[in-house]
Structure 1
Amino acid sequence: MADADARTRAVLGRLAALRQHQQDGRRSPHKPLLVLLALSRFAASGSSELPWDVAERELAELIQEFGPASKTPRAQSAAYPFTRLRSDGVWTLDRDVPMDNVGPLRAGVTGRLEASLEAALRSRPGLVDDVARGLVEAHFPATVAPDVLVAVGLDPELLHGGTVAPGTGRRRSSSWPARVLEAWDRQCAFCGFDGQVGGVPVGLEAAHIRWFTVDGPDELDNGLALCSLHHKLFDRGVLGLDDDLALVVSQRFSARTSHGRAIYELHGRRLQPRPGTPTPAARHVVWHREQVFHGLPLAA
C-alpha cells in the first residue's frame, strides 16, 4: 500500500511540475494539452499511445483553440511538445528524433506516457481523473477547464471529484470575489446585467483579467464583475479590452440570432466603473490581449 501511495505521489509530482514551464506570464499549455490527450486515450483503451499522425491533427487543434494566439504553423506547434516532453521524464517516443523537427515524425513515430507512469495509472482507479483535474485546473480558469476536458475526450464532471494535485502554494483570496462585485456595483462591467435573487447577485462572477493560474493577483485592478456568459467569452478570448478600456469582439465569434448577435453590440463600448473603483491595470490588459484574446477585433 505504501509503495502504491508513493507511486501516486510521484505521478502527481512529475506532472504538476509541467506548470513550471510558464515564464514571465506567458501561457504555455502545450505540454499539458498533450498529456491530457494521452490520458484520454489511456482512459479509453488502457494505452496512452499517440501516433504522430493523430497528434499532428488533434494536438494542433487543441493548441490553436486553447493556447495563446500564435503564427507558428499548426504542425510545428504540435511538434514542440511532442518531442520536448521527453525532457520532463514523462513521455517517450518509439524512436529517437530531433527536437522540434516535424519531418522525421511523419515517418510513423508514436509517443506515449513513460512506462512507470502508465503502471501507476493502471494500479489505482481514479488516478487518471485526479491527474487530469490537477493539470486542467493548474493551466486554465474554471470557465475554460470543462471545455478543455470535452475537447480532449474526458468527462468534465471529473472536476467535481475532489482535490489532488500539488499546486503552487498560492491560495485564492476568499474575500476577493465579493470585493470585485461590490466595486462594480454588483453588475456586469460589459452589459450591465444585475440580476438578484433575494438580494443576492445571481449569474454574476468575479473575473480575473490576468488568470490566477498564471500568477494573476487577487487585486481590484485585476478584476471585473462579469455575467456568466461574458466571463466565459472573456476567458475564451472572444472578448477583450483595448488600451482605452473599450471592449473588443473577436472576428472569430459569429452568431445568427438576435440574442447571439447582441455580442457584436459590445464592440467599442467603454468600461464605466463607479467613482473610486480602480480601472484594470494596463499590464493585465496587455497580458490578456497577448495571451488570451484570439483573432482580430471586429472592424470599427
Structure 2
Amino acid sequence: MITSKALQTAISNLTVWRKGDQRAPHKPLLLLYVLAQYQKGHERMFNYGEEIHQPLLELLHSFGPQRREHYPTMPFWRLRSDGFWELQNAEFCSPQKGNKEPPKREIIEHGVLGGFDEESYQLLRSKPTLLNKLAQQILSEHFPDSIQELLANRLDLQLSGTRKVRDPAFRQTILRAYNYQCAVCGYNLRHDSTPVGLEAAHIKWKQYGGPCTVTNGLALCSLHHSAFDMGVIGFDDSMKLLVSEGVNGSQMVERLFWDFAGRGILLPKSAEHYPLEQFVEWHRGQVFKA
C-alpha cells in the first residue's frame, strides 16, 4: 500500500530528461495541471486529446523554455515509468522501443487516458493536505518563487500554509551590491530605511544549480523580477536589456520595458560583483523568450 511519504519521494525522483542544465519542465507542469484538476473534483483519468494536449501545450509555451516545438505527449506517456501514473488504451497504439511515446495521432485516435494509479488517487482523495503538499513540492523543486505564484494562479491551484524559505544573506548581499535599486529601471522606494518592492533575483535558477552568490544575482523591482523569471526580459553579453518580441500593452508597458531595451543595466560599483557570463547565457538560453 502506497504511503504519503512514498508518493512524495516518487514525485521528487521524477525521471526528467537531462542534457546539461537545460530545462525540461514537462512532467512537473503536467502533474501540476492534473493536481489542480483533482482539487476541483476531476475523476481519476484524463483523455489526452480532449483534456491534456492543449492545456499542457499552453503551459509549456508560457512556463517552459523557448523551443521550436513542444511535445506534450512525452510527459503524458513517459510518466508511467515513475511508479504512480497509469495509462489506459495504450495497448492499442503501435509498440515503441523502451518508454518512447507513439505518435500523437495514435494517442488521440485510440482515446488513451492517463492519470494517477487507483491507489495513489484514493490516497490523494482521502488526504487533501497531501495534494497541497505535492503541488508545493513540485513548484519549489522546479520553479523560482516568482513563478510559483504565477503558475498556481494560472492553474487556479489553491495552496494553503505556504511558507517559502529564502536566504536573507543573499538578498542583503545583492541589494547592497546594486546600491538598493533595480538594475533595470532604478526603482528604489524605501519606507524609512526599509526597501519596498525590491528583490534579489537569481539569474540561473537555484533549481538548476544556480548558486546564491552575488555574481548570480540581480537587484530587481518586483515587476522586473517577475518579468525576468518569465522570460519577458533578458540580457545580452554586454548586459544590455533584451525585451521579448511578445511584450505588448499600454504606454505604461512601453515606458517600463521598451524604453529600456538596448540600454545597459545599472551594475555594481565593483566589477567583481558583475554577473558571470555563464549565468547570463543560461538564462538567455533557458528562460528568455526572444
TM-score normalised by length of structure 2 = 0.90
Cα gap change, 1:22 to 1:181, in 2 (>3 Å)? farther
Q: 2:210 aligns with which of 216, 229, 241?
A: 216
Does residue 236 (structure 1) correspond to residue 210 (structure 2)? The answer is no
State the distance in 1 between where 2:183 and 2:15 align.
Answer: 31
Matches within 5 A, 1:46-85: 46-53=42-49, 54-72=51-69, 74=70, 77-85=71-79
Q: Does 1:17 align with 2:13?
A: yes
Query: Cα distance, 1:159 vs. partner?
Result: 5.7
Match of 2:285 in 1: 290
Indicate whether 1:261 and 2:254 are aligned: yes
Deviation, structure 1 residue 23: 4.9
Say yes or no: does 1:39 pair with 2:35.
yes
> Is 1:102 equivalent to 2:104 in the alignment?
yes
CA shift at 1:154, angstroms? 1.1
Q: Which moved more, 1:214-223 or 1:48-57?
A: 48-57
Which 4+ residue blocks in structure 1 deviate beyond 3 angstroms?
Answer: 19-23, 159-163, 171-174
Percentage of identical aligned residues: 33
1:185–1:274 CA contact under 8 A, matched in 2: yes
Give the residue type in structure 2 aligned to 1:69.
Q
Of the structure 1 ranges 99-108 and 279-288, higher mean CA displacement relative to structure 2 is found in 99-108
Distance in 1, Cα, partners of 2:130 & 2:225: 31
TM-score by length of 1: 0.87
Does residue 157 of structure 2 align to residue 161 of structure 1?
A: no
Q: Which moved more, 1:145-154 or 1:59-68?
A: 145-154
Q: Are the aligned partners of 2:233 and 2:244 in contact in 1 as well (CA < 8 Å)?
A: yes
Contact 2:16 2:27 in 1 (8 A): no
Return the letter of the residue paired with 2:124. L
Q: CA deviation at 1:152?
A: 2.5
CA–CA distance in structure 2, aligned partners of residues 44 and 272 of structure 1: 45
CA contact (8 A) 1:222 1:284 kept: yes
Residues 58 and 274 of structure 1, relative CA distance in 2, 3 Å threshold: closer
**Map 1:106-121 → 2, pairs under 5 A:** 106-107=108-109, 108-121=111-124
- Is it true that 1:149 corresponds to 2:145 in the alignment? no
Structure 1 pair 22–206 and aligned structure 2 pair: CA distance change class (3 A): farther
Q: Aligned-pair distance for 1:251?
A: 0.6
Rounded to whole Å, the distance in 2 between the matches of 1:27 and 1:206 is: 22
Q: More displaced, 266-275 or 134-143?
A: 266-275
Q: Do 2:186 and 2:266's aligned partners in 1 also have CA atoms closer than 8 Å?
A: no
Write out per-residue CA displacement over residues 19-64 of structure 1, whole angstroms, 9 at most, x where no aligned residue.
Answer: 7655521111100111111112211125232111121111111111
Amino acid of the residue matched to residue 106 of structure 2? P
1:159 and 1:29 mapped to 2: Cα distance? 23
Unmatched tracts of structure 1, length 5 or more: 164-170
Correspondent of 1:187 among 181, 186, 195:
181
**1:251 correspondence with 2:245:** yes
CA distance in 2, matches of 1:123, 1:161: 21
Post-superposition offset of 1:146: 1.5
Q: For 1:199-210, list aligned pairs within 5 A.
A: 199-210=193-204
Question: 2:17 and 2:6 mapped to 1: Cα distance?
Answer: 18
Amino acid at match of 1:284: F
Aligned residues: 278
